[in-house]
Chain A
Amino acid sequence: MPREGILVHTPYERMTNEQVLQVHQASIQILNEPGLISFNREATEIFHSNGAEVASVSSSDNPCWLVKIPEELVLHALDSAPKTVKLGARNKDNSLVMNGEEPRVFFVSGSETNIWLDVDFQPYVKKSDPNIEVMVPEFHPRRGTVLDLCQAAHLCEHLETLDAFIRPVNIQDKDITEDNKDVNKFFASLNNTTKHVMAGLTSLKQLDNVVNMAKLIAGGGEELKENPIISFITCLVKSPLQFVEDTTQTLIEICRRGLPIVVSSSPQAGTTAPIKEGGIMAQINAEVLAGVTLSQLVSKGTPVLYGSVPVRARLDNLSDSYGAPESSQYNIDCVQMARFYKLPCYSTAGVCDTKTPGMQTSVERLFSDILVTLSGPQYLHCAYGLLDGNSTFCLLQAVLDDAHFQMIKFFLRPPRVSQAEIDDTLKQIREVVATPQKLYIRYIRPMLRSGQLSMPYPFEGDGETDNVLALAYERMKQLLSQPVEHIDPATTSRVFQEIPGILSRLNVYEERKEQ
C-alpha cells in the first residue's frame, strides 16, 4: 500500500474559473509571443520539427533561438502527460501515487542548501542572580558534507509526516567533484531512507551512473520502471522565458530514460517576473507549460509534475522573500493551474526568511505550510529544516516542522459527522444530562485511545518555561538513535563495484568492518 498523504476534501482556491482561464490564455499567448529564448540546440530542433516557429537570435559566442510554441503543441502535451504519477520507494509502502485531479498532499523535504546548521545547548547564568542558569541553544553554521546528507536522510526516514526525500544539503566535501557528486548524493540518500528520493542532477555525464545505481537497488530495469525509487527535478527554464542549455538537456535525457521528472520554474515577482499576481501567474504557467510540452515531445507519456516555486522579491535586498504572504498566494494559484490541467503539482511552502529556529521561523513557516497545504498540491516541497531562504538546513528545525505537519494533517481529517455518529452522541447527551455531574469526560477515553484526539504540542515546556528548542533537540537525538534499513550488503557490494565514484566511507558494511 502506498503512503496515504492527506486528502484535502475542499481545497482552498483563490482564483475563479474565469481567472484560471484568463491565466491559461495569457500563458498560451506568451508562449507564442514573445515565445521563449532557447539556449539548447536540441530542444530548439525538437520544437521546430513539431511545428514551432524558430528564429536564430544568436550572438557570436552564444548561440540561441527564439521559439514560439503554438497552442496545439501545448494542448497535445497536456493530453499525453499522465494524470497519475507514481513515485516509488525502496520500501514499497513508502511509494506515492499522485493524481492530478485529487488534492491528496504528500509532504517532502528539500531543497539543496549550502549551509548545515549544528546546534548545541550551553548554560547561561543570570548576572543579577547567579543561581539562575538556563540552557540556551547556540547555532554553528558550516559547509554541508556527504555524511551530513546521510544524517539528514536518516532523520527524515523517521519523521512521521515526511513522505518523500529531496536532499536538503549540498555535499561540499573536498573529494566531491562534479564527476562524482550525483552518484554520492543519490547513494547517500537512498542508503539512509526507504522513502522516495528526488534530486536535481549536477552533471548530465552522471545520469546513467545514477540510473544504473537505481536499477541495481530497485532490482532491475523493469523493476525501476514499475517502482521508480528515484526521480529528478529540473529547472530548465530560467525566468523570464529562457530554456537553459544544460538543464534543458538534462530534462531531454531523463525523459528518454522514462523516469519521473519535475518541470520547475522559480520566478521572482518584481525582478524576473511581473510583480502583479496575474502577471507572474501568466509567466510561470507559460514556463512550466513549455517544459511539460518539451517533456512530452521527447517522450510521450513521460511522468511529469507541474513544478512551481514562485516567490516575491524582498525590497531591502532583492533576495527571495518566501515569508511574504504573496509567495503563498502565487503558490496556491499555481496549484489551481496544475489542477486545471489535471497534472500532479509540485508546490512550495515552509521556506522562511529567518536564519535560526525560533518564533519568526515558526510564524513564517506555518503561515505558508497551512495555506499551501489547504490548496491541495500533490507533492509539497515544504522545506523541512530549511532556514534563511534556501540557504541553511538544520535537523532541529526539521523535527519542529514534523510536529507542525502532524497538527496540519490532524486538522485536515474529514469531519466526523454522520447519522450513526449523531445517534451515538444523542444517546450520550441524554445519559449525561440525567447525571448529577453532567460531564462528558468518560466518553473522551475511547476517542483518546483510538487516536481520534490530537495530543498537546510535543515540545511544551513545564509551567511558564519555553523549552521548545531543547525538547525538539532531545527528540532529534532520539530519532537519530533509531536504526535505518540500509541497502542490503549484496546490493551495496554491487553498487560499489559497478558504479564509479561513490566514496568508500558511505559503505556502511565496510565502515563496520573497520570498527
Chain B
Amino acid sequence: MAEDIIKLIKENVVLGRVNRDDEGIDEGMLGQPGVSELTEKALALGVSPVDIINNGLTAGMEIVGQKFEAKEYFIPDMLASAEAVGVAMEILNPHLAKSGIKDKGKIVVATVKGDIHDIGKNIVSILLRGAGYMVTDIGNNVDPQAIVDAVRDEKPQFLGLSALLTSTMVHMADTMQALRENGLRDKVKVIIGGAPVSEEFAKSIGADGYGADGFQAVRIVESLASAEDK
C-alpha cells in the first residue's frame, strides 16, 4: 500500500499535478487525487516523510529532469512539477520538524527597489520550493532596508535578489551594502539573477552567486548549501 501511494505521488509529480482540480497535461486526470491529496493520504497511512520525499517527490523530479534534458518536457512542465513538489513539502515540513529531520534550508527572495518585474523571481521561487527549500517571497520593489529586516527576522541561509532593469540592478549593490552595514552579510549567502546582471556583476557587488536562469539558480543554491555543509 505504501509503495503504491509513493508510486502514485511520483507519477503525479511527473504529470505536474498539484491537486485533484489540476488536469496536468491530460483532462482525463481531473478529479483524480494530485500530489497534495496523495501526500496527505500517505502521511495518514503512516508512510514516513523521508520515504515520500526520496521515493516519491525526488524520484519524480528526477524523471522530469530527464524528460527536460531529452526535450520531451519544457519549462512549463518543470514548473508544474516543481510547484506540485513545493505544495507537498509545505505539507511535509511540520512532520519533518517533528521527526527531527533537518530541512534543506530557508531562502528569502525579492525583486529589488524600483523594479516591479517579478516573473523571474516567481519562477525561481517555484523551482526552489520544488527542490525542497522553504521560500519566503517578500515581493517586488523592495527597499534595501526591508530586505535587511527580512534577513534579520527570517534568518534564511540564502537571499535571492532579482532585477530586470539596468536602472534597478544598482539597488542590488545598495542592498549588499545595507547587509554589510547591519552586520548581516556573513549570515546569509546572496545570489542574484535577472536579465541585465552577470557573473561579473555578481562578483563586483560581492554576491556569492549568479544564476543565469531558474535552473541555474537552484544549482547554485544546491552547490552553496553543499559547500556550507562541508
Contacts and interface: CB of A to CB of B under 8 A. Distances in A.
Interface in A423-454: 436-439, 441-442, 444-446, 448-449
A430 to B, nearest CB: 14
Contacts of B79: 439, 441-442
A445 B77 contact: yes
Contacts of A442: 16, 22, 76, 79-80, 83
Contact of B27 (A439, A446, A448): A446
Given A436-B137, A442-B83, A448 B125 contact: no
Contacts of B119: 439
B25 interface: yes
B164 to A, nearest CB: 15
Contacts of A448: 25, 74, 76
Given A436-B137, A437-B126, A438-B122, A445 B83 contact: no
Contacts of B77: 445
User: In which size bucket is the chain B interface?
Assistant: 20 to 34
Contacts of B76: 441-442, 444-445, 448
Q: Is the interface of A mostly helix, strand, loop or mixed?
A: helix
Contacts of B23: 446
A445 B25 contact: yes
B194 interface: no
A5 B23 CA distance: 32
- In terms of DSSP, what is the predominant structure of the interface of chain B? helix
B24 interface: yes
B25 A449 contact: yes
A131 B118 CA distance: 42
Contacts of B118: 438
B125 A437 contact: yes
Nearest to B83: A442
A39 B74 CA distance: 64
B60 to A, nearest CB: 16
Central interface residue in B74, B83, B123, by most chain A CB within 10 Å:
B74
A446 B25 contact: yes
Contacts of A439: 79, 119, 122-123
A441 B80 CA distance: 8
A325 B76 CA distance: 41
Taking each of B16, B77, B123, B137, which has the highest tally of chain A beta carbons within 10 Å of its own beta carbon? B77
B16 to A, nearest CB: 7
Contact of B80 (A437, A438, A445): A445
Contacts of A438: 118, 122
B161 to A, nearest CB: 17
Nearest to B79: A441
A437 B122 contact: yes
8 contacts: A437-B122, A438-B118, A438-B122, A442-B16, A445-B16, A445-B25, A448-B76, A449-B25
Interface of A: 436-439, 441-442, 444-446, 448-449
Nearest 9 pairs of A and B residues by beta carbon = A437-B122, A444-B76, A449-B25, A441-B76, A445-B25, A445-B76, A441-B79, A442-B80, A439-B122
